[in-house]
Structure formats: structure tokens, C-alpha cells
Structure 1
Amino acid sequence: MVTRRTVLKSGAALGLFTLAGCAPQGTKASSAPSTPAKSVDVAAAGTVTLSMLDFWGGDSAKWVGNAVKAYQQKYPNVTIKRTSVDWGQLTQTANLRLKEKNPPDIITVNNGWQSLGTLSKAGLVLNLDGYSKSFGWDRFPSTILRQTQFTADGTEMGSGSLFATPVASSSLIGLYYNKTILERVGATVPTDLASFEDACTKAKAAGVVPIGYGSQDKGSSTAILLALQDLFGDQKKINDFVYSTGSVKADEIGMKDAAERLKSYQDKGWLTPNHAGIQFADAGDAFLKGKSAFRFEYTGTLAFQGAQKQEYGYVQLPQVTGGKVVGTGASTAVALGSKCKNPDVAASFLDFLAGPQTAQYVVENGFLPLLNDVKAPADNPEFGTEITGQRSLDKDNGYVPYFDWSTPSMLDTLGGQVQQLLAGRSTPDALVKAVQADYDKFQTAR
């Protein structure tokens, strides 16, 4: 799971690796898959030092630090030198860092065209297909692995070869609720869109703001739209659109249905009054203070404290048709620099970052684990509901990527359209047309 950076990471786009030898210096990453030894014996590798450049900070740095320490204890011959910098700084300079005389062996990257797509096309990160087979990374949901795949010519995302892997942490978009408010207005925890809207009707009638919202920030204002789209859109079509296959149009992915629903919520007075002047942080703070019944949000952005862990919950609503659980979600992507001196050992470490021991560190620091079956803290039922939502996506292989990965400018386009829609200066049809125009422009330019 990722913290507030998730919104920005998604907007900016928006979250490895035998002892046989070194990666060819300067070789195009897309030219050939990695060729690991049939078995990796890290303990017999001799003294190995790996450099890792990442953007994990705050509480995220704690689980990463624990994983590094545990791996070094398991393999005392390996030293991992970790350097952490600001997410924006790393994303903007990753290509330069990987071209340096002493580039990082392992690097966290942002998903999408302008980050991982650019790095893979330029040959700055390794093709990991060989390591995927060696370490069995097909254990991850295919809808997660697809997020870091690119074709060899760099023209298509979501297919081709693997250029980064996930870690044992993830972030989703879903629905948070206040149990106390729901009980007070005579509503139950929603299990689908209909029961959610029934609860909103009851909250409004009781004088409670149904949906906490702030739309001043373009990026974060889209969370509610994307969550609704996941309820209406066909999962495959959403994926194919984002991954720029060219076979799907913006009017086929549930975007209009989501925009119409969102506009209806505005018309019914279900959104926080004067939300256009409310910043992201203030909207989240108001929800935690009990100012609304619900809030659509990225996991990891609301800091539940004390009694709030008992009072709040999270749900991943199923689709309107068919009942499958589909939701926007991703993990931090980690790549191997093309000049990595010990790619096999690095691969072993990245496999460790995605494994159950690391997942336990992730949970202990309040983040969502990816795939691994880890127990939620008994004293934090709110977090338990988030893990339940995560597992429902794992079960249904129901992930779709952050929608703005579809083009470098999509988040700005989508956020601006949401603001105009709710201000009465745009329509659902116009929003969909703007999305298609942004997509077409990018397709023509690339």
C-alpha cells in the first residue's frame, strides 16, 4: 500500500533478478530476456554489495528497512546499500540516475508510459522474463503483472515482457464508511451499489453529508469517478483502454455511467457542500472527524487513530452486473538496472520483497499486503476490512490499473473534467469525449 503519494504517483504517470555473471553493459533492456542460472545459490555468491535507490519514506521505509535487515541476516554475504529520495525527484531523474557511472542495481519506478515505459524502451532496465520463470512470479495476479509489461519496441503497455515486479504491498481505491453514522441514520454497511445509495438517501434525510468530498485538487478529485467506473465498466475493456491497444473507445469502458452517477450525487446534494474549495487533506480530515458517512479514497491515505480503528471500515463494492469484484489497484514497481553487477542476487532480494515475510512487515506497519495471507492486527478491525477488500480482488483477479496511466496527461484531463462536470460547465458526454481526445492525441504522437 502507498500513502498520499499514491494519488500523486498515479497522477504523475498519477506503487528483479543468479550468480552467473553481470548484465551486459549498455545492452538494450528490451533486446532479450534475462538469463538466470537454473538455481540461485545466494550463499555461495561470495561477497556481494547491491545498491538500491527508492522513494519509500515515512512508515513505508520501516517495512522496507525490516525486509533489508532480514534478508541480510539470511545471507550475511550480501550487503544492500539503500538510498531513499523524494518520489517526484526520483521519477524525474530515474533515466539520468541509471546512466551514471555507478548507477543503482535496483530502483523503484513509477508505472506507465512516461516512467517505466520510457526506461524499458531506452534499455535502462532489464527484461525480467527469465527471472519471472526462475522465481515463479506467475503466482501474482496476472492483472498486477500486466501493469509492468511492455513490448520490445516500447509501443504497447500491458503485454510483452516484464520489466519490473511488485512488492508485498499494494494500494487500492475503495469506499470507507463510518459505522456510528450508519447506525444513527438506520443504514447498514453497503454490500453493493444499491445498498450504498440507499444509505446515502438515509444519511441525507437525517441531515448528514452522505459522501465526504473535496474537488480542489484535480488528482484526488477523480477517486470517486474511478471507483464508480470500476462498478460499471468491463474489466477487460478498461485494461485494454489503459494499455493502449487501440481496440477500445472511451464510451465502452463505463466512464459515462460513472460520470452520470457522480453528477446525480451532486444534484441530490450528497457531496460535501462547496467541495470545489476543499483541499484533499482537509476533506480527509473532515471525514475522520465524522462529518460524512462515506468517502471514496485511496487506501493508505487516511490515518486512523485510536477509537477510529473501531469506528470506521472499508468495502470493495462488486460490479453492478455479474457481481465480480473489480477495483483500481497496484503495487510499487521495482526494476533492475541494466548495468546491475549481480542480477541473480538482486533477483533473489526482489523475490524476498514480494514474499510472505515482507508481507508481515508490511501489515505490521499498517499497509496492505499483496496476495500473501497475513493476519490483520486484532486491535484494528478497520484495517481488517481493507485486507478483506484486498483479498476479494486477489480472488477474482479483479485489478484494473490507475486509469491515468493511459496517457501522460490523462489525470489532468480527467480531473479538470470532473471539476467542470460538478460545476455544471460540462456533461458526462463531454467528459467521455475529452478522455477520447486525450487518448487519440497520445496515440498519434507516440
Structure 2
Amino acid sequence: MITNRRTFLGLAAAAVSIPLAGCAPGGSAPASSSAPTDVNTDPASLPETTITTLDTWTDKASMQSQWVTAVNAAFTAKYPKLKVKRTSATFDDINKTLKLKLSDTSAPDVVPANNGWQGIGTFAKAGLILNLDAYAKGYGWDKRIPATIATMHQVAADGSQIGTGSWFGAPIAQGGFITVYFNRSKLDKLGLATPTTFDEFTTSLSKAKAAGEVPMMIGTQDQWLSTTTLFALMNVFAEKQKIADFVYGTGGAATDIGMKEAGALYQQWAADSYLPKNFAGTPGSDSGQAFVEGTGVYYFYYSDSLPFNNVATANKFGTFLLPTEGMPLQATGASNQNFSIATKSKSPDAAAAYLDFASSTEAGDIALKTGVMPFNGTFTKPADAGALLADELAELNAVQETDGFVPYFDWASPTMLDTLGAQTQLLLAGKITPDQLVEACQKDYDAFRKSQGK
């Protein structure tokens, strides 16, 4: 099974964003109704309890599942009275049912609510997830979590805006970017080095095609994977602040965010046969598996989300971020899950202790030992780090240095992923123009903003 960043954000074990039925902005309760003030942030003093968690890592053999299993064990070892009962489901299933789960008295304590309006924005507005400000202050999240990352987990107190205000989730200490994977042996066979400029990358695509290779493996039957490359390319053509302003609703227009230029180049790559035959009819999970098994030189995907079940397999591949010419390095990335606490949780103090641990440097060190990319800080490469993990740490530390984290564009509205997934499919098929792609994005955005009275 393939997993991806929609495993948590969706970034999924394969997924497509599905609107949350009956959970539109303007829900039953204001966000401020779920803001506890009398909290305990001393985990050692908490009574014995079992914290129920839900995540999207359904493949027990995956390295991400191995990571969270190790984190849970380390948490209980540190706080023996606090046990963790973990369950998993695909993002697709969670996206369909999470509102109902959160509305039930037996709701899990910790849930993987998607970032943006698809998840925490809508759930906070409806009063279904807890305002975590008191815990953030008590545990010092605002001091140890970078501001650009913290913003991804915040919603205005009245539920009117994402990217500002109160904490309604916390970033786990395992994360990733939309990155470019490459097959090491194929790149060597082509006599090519890892691209360090955007021109070098585009030139290598034509050389791969000339050599009879599939330059870029992809499968867009599920729509969502078609947006991955688009979002990565937008970072080449627009500064991070313009994209962030649009996503968080603080300014700008769809014409300012590099989408037209990214769409034009993406469409040209499809016309030049840089993508595999029948990519439009290939499920994302099949395309990822095919890449791991040797089809394709490059693959745009999410860090640590290809079906690598061991370090030896992972090290056959490398990864790099698209170079951003004339701008500081920036990349679309986030923690590999937003964890929120259900308002109906019977053990919110214990659940908050779990969020604190799962977002900590200690949990990041566990990621390193597992062979996956940590998050929420700068980490030193272990002496025994595999080749892929070494690439990922270089990416993380480079983006930390420039504070170049760009929010996922589909967070801009509850339906943006659906809209852009469908429109990008049409773009790659040559049925719409890049201008029409931009128009569809703006139309979706405007309709949502209007529904909010903006």
C-alpha cells in the first residue's frame, strides 16, 4: 500500500478530499466555547488513564507506522500511568466520518484533523475540537515550534480565519515536504548528477526521455496526485508569502501565486510525453508502487510516504527540493499529521500530554532512529543515517534556515483540493488552459469567502 501526506492531512494511504457533510463554516457552536482554562500540564501528576488515538497509518509495516508505535511506547515508558490505545483508518474513511466521530460521546481523545479549512478550520468553527491555548502556554509550544509551523495549526477564536489565533492542533515531530524523489541507479546510468538548478532539472527530463526512460512517474486517476507537482512548481514562480496570504485569507489573488506559470509548464511536460502513458488512468497507489519497483526517473511526492518498508529499499532512492531561482529556498511542507483533541475527550489533560510528547525533540529523535524525517527543529545527521534520510535532513535543515515553509495550497477552502484535482486533470489532458485553471481556483476561493460573509 502506498501512503502519502494526505494520510494525515489527508497528505493519506491513497486519498481524495471529500467535503465534510453537514460541517460547513457557521456550525453549531463557536470555537471559543471549547477553550479550557483550568488545565494540568504536569503529565507525571495525572491519574492513570488510557488515551485513545486515531491516525491514518494503516500499513503496519510502513516506517511511519513504526515511528508512531515507537513514540507511543516511549511515551508510556516516560509516563507509566498514561497508556495509549491506537487505531488507524485511511484518510478517505476518516474524512468521511470524522465529524460523526467527534460528535459522539465515545470520540477518540486524539484525532488527525486535516490542517486548513478541510479540517481544523471547520471543526474549530463547529466547536468539535478543543482550543489548546492553555496547553500551548503551559508546555511552551509557542517557544519551541517555529512560527510558520505554528500558524498551520491555528484558527481565529471566532472560527473566522485559519492561520492565526488559537491553537486547535499540534504538529507531530515527523514531517515532510512535497519533494522530488529520484532513482539513484537510473540517474547514474544517464550520467546525470542530482540537479542543483531548475534548468538542470528540466534538462534532465529531456535527457531521460531521449534515453527511453519515463522521466516523471505519476498516476492521476484519483485527482489528488495531479496537484502535488502543481503545488511544488508554484514555489518556483511565487514567493512563499504570496501563497501563504492567499491560503490564510489575508490578501492576494489567484493570479499572484504562480499557478498560471506552474500550470503552463506542467501542461507542457504532459504534451512532451514526460509523463507515463495512461497516467490519467493510473491510480496514485499504483504509480508509487511502480516507481519503487523501477519505473521512472523522478516522482513528485511527499517525504517518507512512498511504500518503503525498510531502509535498504529506501536508500535506492534520493530526494531533493525544486530549486527556487532568485528566491530563498522554500517548499510546501508540514508535520506529517496534525493531532487535535476532541472537545468530548474525557481525558484532555492526558491527551495534551501526548500531543506535547509527539511534537517533541525526543519524538524527532525517534524518527531519526526509525529512518524517517523528523520535524520541529534542526537535527544532526546520525553517523549511520541512510542515504535517503541524509537527503531529507539536508532538506529540512535548509528550509529551517530560510524559514521557507509554505502551507499546502488546498487548505485555502474546504473544496479547493477537489476543485484543483479535477481542473488539473483537465489541464494535463489539454482540455483547459492555465488561465482557466487559475479562474477555477479563484471561483472556488471567492465562493467560500462569500459563504463566510467576506
When normalised by structure 1's length, the TM-score is 0.87
2:35 counterpart of 1:30? no
> Corresponding residue for 1:41?
42
Question: 1:289-304 residue pairs with structure 2 within 5 A?
Answer: 289-304=293-308
> Corresponding residue for 2:83?
79
Q: Cα–Cα, structure 1 residues 155 and 203, in superposed 2: closer, same or farther, change >3 Å?
A: same
Q: Cα–Cα, structure 1 residues 379 and 73, in superposed 2: closer, same or farther, change >3 Å?
A: closer
Q: CA shift at 1:256, angstroms? A: 0.8
Say which of 385, 394, 415 aligns to 1:388.
Answer: 394
Q: More displaced, 76-85 or 211-220?
A: 76-85
Please list the CA deviations of residues 150-175 of structure 1 after superposition, one character each: whole Å capped at 9, or x if unmatched: 11221211111111101111132111
Unaligned runs of 5+ in 1: 15-25
Please list the CA deviations of residues 63-118 of structure 1 after superposition, one character each: whole Å capped at 9, or x if unmatched: 22322222222222333343444433333333333333344333221222242222
> Corresponding residue for 2:128?
124
Unaligned runs of 5+ in 2: 20-27
SS of the aligned residue for 1:51 comes to strand
CA distance in 2, matches of 1:429, 1:328: 26
SS of the aligned residue for 2:326 comes to coil
CA RMSD after TM alignment: 2.8
CA distance in 1, matches of 2:236, 2:311: 32
SS of the aligned residue for 1:221 comes to helix
Task: Determine if contact 1:120/1:126 at 8 Å carries over to the other structure.
Answer: yes
2:96 counterpart of 1:95? no
2:336 counterpart of 1:336? no
Question: 1:422-437 residue pairs with structure 2 within 5 A?
Answer: 422-437=428-443
Please list the CA deviations of residues 395-421 of structure 1 after superposition, one character each: whole Å capped at 9, or x if unmatched: 222222221121222222212222222
SS of the aligned residue for 2:215 comes to strand
CA distance in 1, matches of 2:402, 2:161: 25
CA distance in 2, matches of 1:184, 1:223: 27
SS of the aligned residue for 1:211 comes to coil
Please list the CA deviations of residues 369-395 of structure 1 after superposition, one character each: whole Å capped at 9, or x if unmatched: 113426458363123212322222222
Question: 1:398-417 residue pairs with structure 2 within 5 A?
Answer: 398-417=404-423
Question: 1:166-181 residue pairs with structure 2 within 5 A?
Answer: 166-181=171-186
Say which of 111, 114, 120 aligns to 1:110.
Answer: 114
SS of the aligned residue for 2:249 comes to coil
Q: Cα–Cα, structure 1 residues 27 and 205, in superposed 2: closer, same or farther, change >3 Å?
A: closer
Q: CA shift at 1:218, angstroms? A: 0.8
Q: More displaced, 117-126 or 165-174?
A: 117-126
Q: Cα–Cα, structure 1 residues 358 and 258, in superposed 2: closer, same or farther, change >3 Å?
A: same
Q: CA shift at 1:426, angstroms? A: 1.2
Q: More displaced, 161-170 or 338-347?
A: 338-347
Q: Cα–Cα, structure 1 residues 324 and 129, in superposed 2: closer, same or farther, change >3 Å?
A: same
Q: Cα–Cα, structure 1 residues 369 and 205, in superposed 2: closer, same or farther, change >3 Å?
A: same
CA distance in 1, matches of 2:383, 2:447: 47
2:425 counterpart of 1:419? yes
Q: CA shift at 1:36, angstroms? A: 5.4
AA in 2 matched with 1:270: Y
Q: Cα–Cα, structure 1 residues 204 and 27, in superposed 2: closer, same or farther, change >3 Å?
A: closer
2:279 counterpart of 1:279? no
Q: More displaced, 225-234 or 368-377?
A: 368-377
2:155 counterpart of 1:150? yes
Q: Cα–Cα, structure 1 residues 288 and 78, in superposed 2: closer, same or farther, change >3 Å?
A: closer
Say which of 219, 225, 236 aligns to 2:224.
Answer: 219
Q: CA shift at 1:310, angstroms? A: 4.0
> Corresponding residue for 2:51?
50
> Corresponding residue for 1:4?
4
CA distance in 2, matches of 1:266, 1:78: 52
Task: Determine if contact 2:3/2:305 at 8 Å carries over to the other structure.
Answer: yes
Q: More displaced, 365-374 or 400-409?
A: 365-374
CA distance in 2, matches of 1:87, 1:274: 26
Q: Cα–Cα, structure 1 residues 155 and 190, in superposed 2: closer, same or farther, change >3 Å?
A: same
CA distance in 1, matches of 2:186, 2:87: 44
CA distance in 1, matches of 2:51, 2:210: 60
Task: Determine if contact 1:171/1:368 at 8 Å carries over to the other structure.
Answer: yes
Q: CA shift at 1:34, angstroms? A: 4.1
CA distance in 2, matches of 1:410, 1:164: 21
AA in 2 matched with 1:390: L
CA distance in 1, matches of 2:372, 2:203: 31
When normalised by structure 2's length, the TM-score is 0.86
Say which of 222, 225, 245 aligns to 1:240.
Answer: 245
CA distance in 1, matches of 2:53, 2:311: 35
> Corresponding residue for 2:23?
none
Please list the CA deviations of residues 40-81 of structure 1 after superposition, one character each: whole Å capped at 9, or x if unmatched: 433233434433344443233432232222222222233334
Percent identity over the alignment? 37
Please list the CA deviations of residues 253-277 of structure 1 after superposition, one character each: whole Å capped at 9, or x if unmatched: 0101101111222333322234223
